[in-house]
Structure 1
Amino acid sequence: MKRIPKATTASLAVSAGLIAGATFLATPAHADPGADAFVGALSSAGLGGIDPATAVSVGQSVCPMLSEPGQQMADVAAGVSDALGRPLGPATMFTGIAISMFCPAAVTSLANGQNPIPFGLAGF
């Protein structure tokens, strides 16, 4: 039987304690209210059953995709469909909710009568 020196055993115990403590401290103290509101809006729209972290990640990717030159909303919805593994109809609804929740500049522009996204080019 191989003996482990006491100093090594003690340092392993300390290391394990530090890792456990770091893991505990790394967990968020509270969830992001914007993310919670987004997941709630999806659920209210009948788009439940999506992993919340995945939903938020995909939702937050919508605005940057829309801002790319020449990008069309239909293409973004198709990308969302692929990312979520959902049909295009629900993915389009998801995309609209993501825009309303995560793209405040686009929503403000629309409220001011401006069109930040060329919907005519997007197939709408």
Structure 2
Amino acid sequence: MTTAAAATGLIAAAAASAAPAHADTTANDFLGALSAAGLDGLDPGQAVELGQSICPLLAERSQNTADIASTVADQLGRPLGPATMFTGIAVAFFCPRAVQDLANGQSPIPLPILNNLGF
């Protein structure tokens, strides 16, 4: 291995390890909202990953909110009610386009869910 290649490898490793150590505030806020809504006992990493996976589903024309909530219920191993709540919270935190649509009077999720959360 040449010295230049070794140096490049070290620089790449240093850059990767220099990522900020602070936690993602959106993810933390999302987890806090889940807890405040009574959705406890979820693995934080899996909850965030599932929450972030909802936005692309909203963009698919073949998916409706009932289908998405049903998928979330299966993933969480929870009934449809809590899964629908989870879906609404995830949209509020991770899907700015959907929130913008709500502001324009278009609802990707049932509005009573957001009303209960103060949105």
Over the matched positions of the two proteins, sequence identity in percent amounts to: 61
**Structure 2 residues without counterparts, runs of 5 or longer:** 1-13, 111-119
**In structure 2, how many angstroms separate the alpha carbons of the residues matched to 1:86 and 1:112?**
31
Partner of 2:48: 56
1:92 to 81, 84, 96: 84
- Offset at 1:112? 2.2
How many residues align? The count is: 96
Whether the aligned pair in 1 keeps the contact of 2:55 and 2:95 (CA below 8 Å) is yes
Residue 83 and residue 27 in structure 1: after superposition, are their counterparts in 2 closer, same or farther (change >3 A)? Answer: farther
CA distance in 1, matches of 2:44, 2:18: 19
| In structure 1, C-alpha distance between the alignment counterparts of 2:93 and 2:60, rounded to whole Å | 19
Deviates more, 1:69-78 or 1:32-41: 69-78
Which of 11, 34, 39 is the equivalent residue of 1:42?
Answer: 34
How large is the RMSD of aligned CA atoms in angstroms? 2.2
Structure of larger gyration radius: 1
- 1:117 maps onto 2:103 in alignment: no
Listed as ranges, the gaps of 5+ residues in structure 1 are: 1-21, 120-124
What TM-score, normalized to structure 2? 0.72
Whether 1:66 and 2:47 are equivalent positions in the alignment is no
Quote how far apart the aligned CAs of 1:87 are. 1.2
**Superposition pairs of residues 7-46 of structure 1, within 5 angstroms:** 25=17, 29-46=21-38
Which 4+ residue blocks in structure 1 deviate beyond 2 angstroms? 25-28, 116-119
Instruction: Report the residue type matching 2:108 in the other structure.
Output: I
